[in-house]
Structure 1
Amino acid sequence: MFKHNNSTEIISVGEIDHRLIEERLTLPSTQDSDLLLFELTRNQEYASYLILTQKKTNTQLGNEELQWLNLIISYLSVSLENLYLIRKMSARLEHLASQVPSEDTANDITWFRKLMFELQEKERYRIATDLHDTTMQDLFFLKRKLAALLDKYSDDWQDSEQAKSLLDYIDIINMNLRQSCFELHPYLLQELGLVRTIDKLIELEQTTLPFEIEFRYGGIDAIESCDIEMKRHLFRVFQELINNAKKHSNASKVYFNVSAASGKLTVQYRDDGLGFRSGQDLVREIGGSHIGLEQLKSRILSMRGVFEIKSGQGSGMSFNAAIPLKEGRTA
């Protein structure tokens, strides 16, 4: 269980009442309870706990069981604390990398930005692979089993309709997982190229977006001659701009253009949303999460590009970037 201010997050295994877990946290440590509570970590941002039910035999934990439990708790405490420190350090380093005072300094830490993005892409690939190889395969197996049961016991019309609705719901979950896998690991960049991959993402997103996207491009041969690393950065820039538009812009239309000519690639984004008043608003609204302004700045700077953001209250936002073309193999 993780507790942050007034909110809690519970990750449970087996049968356990979440309401009882939250109640147990409010009880004094000396008060008897059916749940065993162990504090794992406590820091400025959150506290974490391990909570266990009583043994099914209703017997006390033996000495050997307590020793193993204490060992597990110590490992969990160290792991969670290290994870917290690593995330905190990464966030500070990302912030530092995006707040460099000059272009020369920015070039000096290009290696760091590339390392950070490489680690992010590896983790995204790992998560996408796990989802595809485990959860999606489990859903496929579950659907086959339900379909077999539906064929076997199809006499009851009401039960048959309920089973069909379950199959449809599994298809929806599977479709959402496929979209998540694609966004985590845009494998089509190598197979189809940047432009068609962005088209595919728009096709997947358009049904749920609160605004219309107009995507244009020019100089497609020069765009697709970029190496795969640059294409991946440009795809992530598009993703992050669209995600921020969903969260903050309240726009009805978004324009996105990518073009290449005269050894330079330009990215242009514009929306008709709420906009913002000042640079401070920009940091708060777009940079509120680590995939906002700081990520955009870092990605553009890692490609040795320059960018400009403009906005006004009630007049939407525009983002323009220019990046020197670096041709390379696309596969």
Structure 2
Amino acid sequence: MFVFAGSVAMISFVLYSVEYFTTRLEAFLFPRKFRLRTALKKISKNLGVISSFRELKDIVLVDIVQTLEVMGGAIVFQYEHDIEIIAEGDIDAAEIKQRLQSSALSEHPLYTCIEIHRHEQYASYLVITRNKANTLLGKEEIQWLHLITSYLEVSLENVHLIRKLTAKMQLLASQLPNEQSAHDIQWFRKVMFELQEEERLRIAADLHDTTMQDLFFLKRRFISLLDKYAMNKEDKEHLNNIVNFVEMINNSLRQSCFELNPFLLKEIGLIETVRSYLDKEAYHAPFVLKFKEERASAIEAKDLTTKKHIFRIIQELLNNAKKHSQASHVTFTMTVADRAFVLTYEDDGVGFKSTEARRIEIGSSGMGVEQMKGRVLHLNGQLQLDSREGEGTRLVVTIPIRETMSV
């Protein structure tokens, strides 16, 4: 009995030790397996926080491409009349789209294509290129990808539903009535505006922390080349042009960040922020752009959210003028009269029929006149729109100074 018990204890100790040291040394003994398992844990954990297609690329697709050491990868959504591709790395999105339309993607020798989900409204696929050694994925990597797609299936369905719900909420917000009964559902507009602002702030932060920083370091590298190496006049001029072009892109991104997050509203107020914004836009606007302010300083006493709503309205009107008005002159006027703030927009463009107002999109934001009206109603204000074909457009926003709602 003593020998038997000792043998069992010894065997148990040996087996436990083997398992323990194998687990500890897995990164050295089985590096490929360890890397795949670690990446799987990370991706499965990150999938729980994904709420948009953009996050699919930043959180999931990047990890898949880096883990498998492939040239590139893509998550493809095939709808009834459209194909949407989220790509990372060196992968030809146009070729994938063409082959998917001809049902030849799965047979392509350079791609590994795995169907993630097939829904009545769409089908989704994970497409991976060859690895950097120009060989196809091995059996172990393909099994790992199939496991990843089983996790992705649920997340993609959730993201699709979130996008669908958000689109319906935006449509509903744009169609809310302007009668007194609309005040009963003001909370809905509040939620929609808050979600839009949060998304703008996130995009502005991403641009500032990633793309703009990358361009800054790229510019410094080019300048260091100019200082370090002796070049002939032609090469030096060519490199200077590249530096100037990088700086021009950086300035454009800086302006985009400001439009997404108008931080100057807090620092210098609404009037000066609008003046600065319109002055910059006047340089490349296809019309003469003017701004007038007449005793409107009382608006500066309002809260930051109210000023931000007014600034967004001005942005949307200006974007609309660029896209649709074909005007030669556009004027914005701010004034305060009878305890109300009045914003007036006027142009001498092509105008439109009053019945078309609901269908006009403002800029690239996809916000129509009705949703812009929602901002005004949220501030307990009124919006008057006067336009006729060939006779320009005049829009007047009136917001009570004392009764403006806070978000």
TM-score (structure 2 length as normaliser): 0.73
Give the deviation of 1:286 after TM superposition: 3.7
Question: Structure 1 residues 188, 151: closer, same or farther in 2, change over 3 A?
Answer: same
Matched residue, 1:258? 334
Q: Distance in 2 between matches of 1:39 and 1:323?
A: 53
Q: Quick one: which amino acid aligns to residue 319 of structure 1? A: L
Contact in 2 for aligned 1:225/1:327 (Cα 8 Å): no
1:55-92 CA-to-partner distances (Å, cap 9, x unmatched) read 34455544542333123334444334333322332232
Worse-superposed segment, 11-20 or 255-264:
11-20
Give the deviation of 1:203 after TM superposition: 2.0
**2:357 alignment partner, one of 259, 279, 282:** 282
**2:162 alignment partner, one of 74, 86, 89:** 86
Q: Distance in 1 between matches of 2:403 and 2:217?
A: 44
Question: Structure 1 residues 172, 230: closer, same or farther in 2, change over 3 A?
Answer: same
1:269 to 2:345 alignment = yes
Worse-superposed segment, 87-96 or 299-308:
87-96
1:204 to 2:280 alignment = yes
- Higher CA-based Rg: 2
1:205-231 CA-to-partner distances (Å, cap 9, x unmatched) read 112211122211222331111111100
Give the deviation of 1:125 after TM superposition: 1.2
Q: Quick one: which amino acid aligns to residue 12 of structure 1? A: A
Matched residue, 2:220? 144
Question: Structure 1 residues 27, 286: closer, same or farther in 2, change over 3 A?
Answer: closer
Contact in 2 for aligned 1:97/1:106 (Cα 8 Å): no
Worse-superposed segment, 61-70 or 194-203:
61-70
Contact in 2 for aligned 1:257/1:269 (Cα 8 Å): yes
Matched residue, 1:246? 322
Q: Distance in 2 between matches of 1:135 and 1:29?
A: 32
Q: Quick one: which amino acid aligns to residue 196 of structure 2? A: Q
Q: Quick one: which amino acid aligns to residue 234 of structure 2? A: Q
Matched residue, 1:22? 97
Report 1:98-247 matches (<5 A): 98-101=174-177, 103-247=179-323
Question: Structure 1 residues 38, 315: closer, same or farther in 2, change over 3 A?
Answer: farther
Structure 1 residue runs of 5 or longer lacking an equivalent are none
Q: Percent identity?
A: 48
Matched residue, 1:312? 388
Contact in 1 for aligned 2:347/2:394 (Cα 8 Å): yes
Q: Quick one: which amino acid aligns to residue 138 of structure 1? A: D
Instruction: Determine helix, strand or coil for the equivalent of 1:239.
Output: helix
1:252-294 CA-to-partner distances (Å, cap 9, x unmatched) read 1112112223321112111111111241x22222469632213
Q: Distance in 1 between matches of 2:296 and 2:209?
A: 34
Which structure ranks higher in relative contact order (CA pairs < 8 Å, sequence separation ≥ 6)? 1
Name whichever structure is richer in helix by fraction.
2
Instruction: Determine helix, strand or coil for the equivalent of 2:292.
Output: strand
Q: Distance in 2 between matches of 1:255 and 1:32?
A: 57
Q: Distance in 1 between matches of 2:170 and 2:106?
A: 43
Q: Distance in 1 between matches of 2:119 and 2:392?
A: 39
1:105-139 CA-to-partner distances (Å, cap 9, x unmatched) read 21111111112111211221121112112221111
1:121-170 CA-to-partner distances (Å, cap 9, x unmatched) read 12211211121122211111111111111122232222212211110110
Question: Structure 1 residues 150, 47: closer, same or farther in 2, change over 3 A?
Answer: farther
Contact in 2 for aligned 1:308/1:321 (Cα 8 Å): yes
Instruction: Determine helix, strand or coil for the equivalent of 2:367.
Output: coil
Report 1:39-78 matches (<5 A): 39-40=115-116, 48-57=124-133, 61-78=137-154
Instruction: Determine helix, strand or coil for the equivalent of 2:88.
Output: coil
1:323 to 2:399 alignment = yes
Instruction: Determine helix, strand or coil for the equivalent of 1:259.
Output: strand
Size of the aligned set, in residue pairs, is 328
Instruction: Determine helix, strand or coil for the equivalent of 1:214.
Output: strand
Q: Distance in 1 between matches of 2:387 and 2:161?
A: 36
Q: Distance in 1 between matches of 2:104 and 2:348?
A: 54
Matched residue, 2:56? none
